Amino acid sequence: MTETTPKKTRGARRSEDSRTAILKATREELIENGWRKFSVDRVAKRARASKQTIYRWWPSIGTICVEAALELIPEGSGSGRDATEKIAELIAPVEQALRVGSGHAVLHGALVAACDEKEAGDRWRMWQREHIRMPLRNILAEIASKNVIRRDFDVDLAMDILIGPIVHRVVLLRAPLPEGFSGRQAEAMIKQLAP
Amino acid sequence: MTETTPKKTRGARRSEDSRTAILKATREELIENGWRKFSVDRVAKRARASKQTIYRWWPSIGTICVEAALELIPEGSGSGRDATEKIAELIAPVEQALRVGSGHAVLHGALVAACDEKEAGDRWRMWQREHIRMPLRNILAEIASKNVIRRDFDVDLAMDILIGPIVHRVVLLRAPLPEGFSGRQAEAMIKQLAP
Amino acid sequence: MTETTPKKTRGARRSEDSRTAILKATREELIENGWRKFSVDRVAKRARASKQTIYRWWPSIGTICVEAALELIPEGSGSGRDATEKIAELIAPVEQALRVGSGHAVLHGALVAACDEKEAGDRWRMWQREHIRMPLRNILAEIASKNVIRRDFDVDLAMDILIGPIVHRVVLLRAPLPEGFSGRQAEAMIKQLAP
Amino acid sequence: MTETTPKKTRGARRSEDSRTAILKATREELIENGWRKFSVDRVAKRARASKQTIYRWWPSIGTICVEAALELIPEGSGSGRDATEKIAELIAPVEQALRVGSGHAVLHGALVAACDEKEAGDRWRMWQREHIRMPLRNILAEIASKNVIRRDFDVDLAMDILIGPIVHRVVLLRAPLPEGFSGRQAEAMIKQLAP
DNA sequence: AGATAAACGAGACGGTACGTCACGTCTTAGG
DNA sequence: CCTAAGACGTGACGTACCGTCTCGTTTATCT
């Protein structure tokens, strides 16, 4: 959920049906029209929801798109045995979501929204910090404690290297990811660490 | 120019003044409003041009943005002595444009446009093919003729690795590139090539 | 009102303020620019209304003009003692509206609109049928029941004779009506009836 | 012709082909689109003429319409034996033009133009003065010299009575003239003259 | 049970922008 | 010098959305 639930004593509660229908309609809208021609009016119509309901619960249009896309990304398995596997697992869920059904179209639209709109970007970066940056920092720290590591290497640079190629392929080129992309990216990352 | 000039014998010629003013106004608009709130009406007003003139000569709005941004990217120097330097030089002009004045804002907007709109993307990819992909292929071929190189390594993957991180930083994170980015990316690329 | 109010239970109601402001702005626009240079944009701006609101409630632009003009025509008094007076009273309200303030300019514009645009014409003819043709038919029937009357004389011909001269003067010549026009027209009509 | 031919000694003369084609295209345009949607661009295209040529030789758009319509009105026969017949003959050519082919549509459009646009109106009134008002005044003078005539009866009022009904039928109602209209109008006129 | 309050669907509203069309002017090449 | 072709600035068209607001209905808690 986007908003912190306000303490209230009376009145109807937020409708879960509406929330679900709106996010579903958002995905359909992204598939059919992309970010450029995205229309709140159409989403409301499609979800049989009032526009008021949309504006009440989400801070911006792009945020809805990001949120709708994030629902497609599964939880990571966390079963990696070495550093390379652990890193690969960080982006594997994204790769997986991209390959299922219309996942590519939805994620494309949502990521463009995140690029275009400040608040949607914030929402995406929040997720990325929690699901990628934080675990990645732990993994890198662990490596650093055992091996020698380049000094000019920080987590943000690592993220650029890890995620950048995906964004380039999916968002800028609108092309599918080649097989075994996340594995290869993880290996590349490890290679970079040597001083 | 976007359109191939049709052979004609009569009638007024395309106004170079208009073209220049429109591209300039486009950059200003991208700086002030970004892609999301980009307005053709405002561009026309600012450029003292007619909307018709804009629609006559450009196939889509995003294309104008890409074209306006490309004017900011200088020609490469082509003075690289080894492979690493040559690769670095491919993205150096982009890095340079990003650092000058409002280059970051303009390129951000234009790249979001390229992500969002098919035709704008085509325009960008055309430039990218000519100025990055083609030279990069030559450099890689040269390396391959001397050294052993990974088999699962093609030009498109190389582009993902080379450009992806920039796109991630600039477009998705809206953050500036760290110092010496292109040099480091080139080194990374070379490292990846070893089997 | 133009549209029959649809039965609805939910949603905001039509704004009477907007409707009034739009009709007022329409009259001002007709006075300043006439039908030829009539601009919906300007009317909307002047009325502080959205163009959508205009297009939502009126089927065409000309219709607004006719409706705005009809508001200037007062109700007939209905105090005529003989046939001639009764007939004169039918067109007297129009004559009256033409003489008050900018009534001439407004009616000129609206009638040109009615001539030019099918739907505006329908709106005008609807009013004319109710306020002139119908009462006129009753008056003629009454005369016919007492006197002998020409056979080749129908209501529509009577309307041509009654209204045509006004239209010619006001709309085609853009000239004011001479004094006592409606009275004289009524007398003329009565004279025509004799076989 | 609208403009007085300028005295010129050198260079090309006005092209009669262009003039004819433009007036023909104007009639077609009036038939298909009426005055409201009349377009100079389309006329130029249809006539394979340059817009410049149109604007050079006609003072306004409406004027072209009036001129194009006037070409459809034949010369009067001038064979009337008594006053009634002579008056009928004044409007007979108009009635005749209205009945031939698309004459009704063309005259409708042109007359609306004359109502709507000052200069087009002037062009029409010039024709009307020469072909109707002037002869009518002579006829009325002749009657007055033989018979007693109403004092409050001037030529302009006579024109209202003579032409008004036609305008009402054709322009405002968009309806065809009933059979024998001009004859009946002439009789009506004569009846009115008695004091 | 009734009052109170929040959320909801529907949809009208003032705005802003869209992409197109037309006007009237200007520029170029050809006759 | 006239003409066809056509680009140009201006401005209006009719449509689509945005984000806000106003309705009446429904749902939940509090008195």
Q: Per-residue confidence of chain C (195 residues) as pLDDT tens digits?
A: 444 444 456 788 999 999 999 999 999 999 999 999 999 999 999 999 999 999 999 999 999 999 999 999 999 888 889 999 999 999 999 999 999 999 999 999 999 999 999 999 999 999 999 999 999 999 999 888 888 887 777 899 999 999 999 999 999 999 999 988 999 889 888 888 776
What mean pLDDT is predicted for residues A30-50? 98
C174 lies in the same domain as C95: yes
What's the confidence (pLDDT) of residue C108? 98
A105 lies in the same domain as A187: yes
Give the separation between CA B193 and CA A43, rounded to whole angstroms. 47
Kindly determine whether residue C172 and residue D112, on different chains, have CB atoms separated by under 8 Å. Answer: no
Kindly determine whether residue C116 and residue D116, on different chains, have CB atoms separated by under 8 Å. Answer: yes
Structurally, chain A folds into a number of domains equal to 2
D153 within domain boundaries: yes
Output the domain CATH number for residue B128.
1.10.357.10
D120 within domain boundaries: yes
D99 within domain boundaries: yes
Range of the domain at C128: 73-192
CA C35 to chain centre: 15
Kindly determine whether residue A152 and residue B184, on different chains, have CB atoms separated by under 8 Å. Answer: yes
Contacts of A184 in chain B (CB under 8 A): 152, 157
What's the confidence (pLDDT) of residue D3? 46
Confidence of residue A3 (pLDDT cuts 50, 70, 90): very low
Give yes or no for CB of B102 within 7 Å of strand F: no
A45 lies in the same domain as A128: no
Domain finish residue from A22, A38, A69: A69
B82 lies in the same domain as B119: yes
3-class SS shares of chain B: helix, strand, coil, % to 5: 70, 0, 30
C143 lies in the same domain as C107: yes
D22 lies in the same domain as D113: no
Nucleotide nearest to C43 (CA to C1'): F12
A39 lies in the same domain as A115: no
Give the separation between CA D90 and CA B11, rounded to whole angstroms. 48
Contacts of D35 in chain C (CB under 8 A): 116
Distance from residue A158's CA to nucleotide F20's C1', rounded to whole Å: 44
Nucleotides of F under 7 A from a protein CB: 1-30
Lowest mean pLDDT among B136-150, C47-61, D9-23: D9-23
What's the confidence (pLDDT) of residue B1? 43
B81 lies in the same domain as B112: yes
What's the confidence (pLDDT) of residue B8? 59
What mean pLDDT is predicted for residues D68-84? 92
Quote the minimal CA–CA distance from B6 to chain A in Å: 30
Closest Cβ–Cβ partner in C112, C152, C169 for D112: C112
**CB D162, CB D154: distance < 8 Å:** no
What's the confidence (pLDDT) of residue A111? 98
Q: Which residues contact B83 (CB under 8 A, 6 or more apart)?
A: B139, B142, B143, B190
Give partners of C (≥3 CB pairs < 8 A). Answer: D
A55 lies in the same domain as A137: no
C102 lies in the same domain as C134: yes
Domain finish residue from C43, C69, C95: C69
Domain finish residue from B53, B69, B85: B69
What mean pLDDT is predicted for residues D76-100? 92
Alpha helices in A11-167 (DSSP H): 16-33, 40-46, 51-57, 61-70, 83-99, 103-116, 118-128, 134-146, 155-167
D7 within domain boundaries: no
Give the separation between CA D75 and CA D77, rounded to whole angstroms. 6
Distance from residue D16's CA to nucleotide F1's C1', rounded to whole Å: 16
pLDDT in tens, A146-178: 888 887 778 999 999 999 999 999 999 999 999
Kindly determine whether residue D164 and residue C166, on different chains, have CB atoms separated by under 8 Å. Answer: yes
Q: Is pLDDT above 90 for A101?
A: yes
What mean pLDDT is predicted for residues A34-60? 97
What's the confidence (pLDDT) of residue D192? 80
C3 within domain boundaries: no
C5 within domain boundaries: no
D99 lies in the same domain as D60: no
Which residue is closest, via its CA, to the C1' of E26? B12
Backbone region of residue A43 per phi and psi (left: phi > 0; alpha: psi in -120 to 50; beta: other values)? alpha
Confidence of residue D5 (pLDDT cuts 50, 70, 90): very low
pLDDT in tens, B64-119: 999 999 999 999 888 889 999 999 999 999 999 999 999 999 999 999 999 999 99
Closest Cβ–Cβ partner in A112, A152, A164 for B165: A164
C40 within domain boundaries: yes
Contacts of C150 in chain D (CB under 8 A): none
What mean pLDDT is predicted for residues A88-102? 96
Output the domain CATH number for residue C63.
1.10.10.60
A interface test, pick of B108, B129, B161, B173 with most A CB neighbours within 10 Å:
B173
Angle, helices D61-70 vs D103-116, to 10°: value is 140
Mean pLDDT across chain C, nearest whole number?
92
Distance from residue A93's CA to nucleotide E3's C1', rounded to whole Å: 51
Lowest mean pLDDT among B6-15, B168-177, C117-126, C160-169: B6-15
Q: Is pLDDT above 80 for D4?
A: no
Kindly determine whether residue B164 and residue A159, on different chains, have CB atoms separated by under 8 Å. Answer: no
What's the confidence (pLDDT) of residue A8? 56
Give the separation between CA A167 and CA C36, rounded to whole angstroms. 55
**CB A88, CB A182: distance < 8 Å:** yes
Contacts of B114 in chain A (CB under 8 A): 172
Which residue is closest, via its CA, to the C1' of E31? D12
What's the confidence (pLDDT) of residue C169? 97
Mean pLDDT across chain A, nearest whole number?
92
D59 lies in the same domain as D119: no
Kindly determine whether residue B34 and residue A115, on different chains, have CB atoms separated by under 8 Å. Answer: no
Give yes or no for CB of A34 within 7 Å of strand F: no
B25 within domain boundaries: yes
Question: Would the CA dihedral through D149, D152, D155, D158 be positive or negative?
Answer: negative
What's the confidence (pLDDT) of residue A11? 85
Widest pairwise Cα distance in chain C = 61
Confidence of residue A33 (pLDDT cuts 50, 70, 90): very high
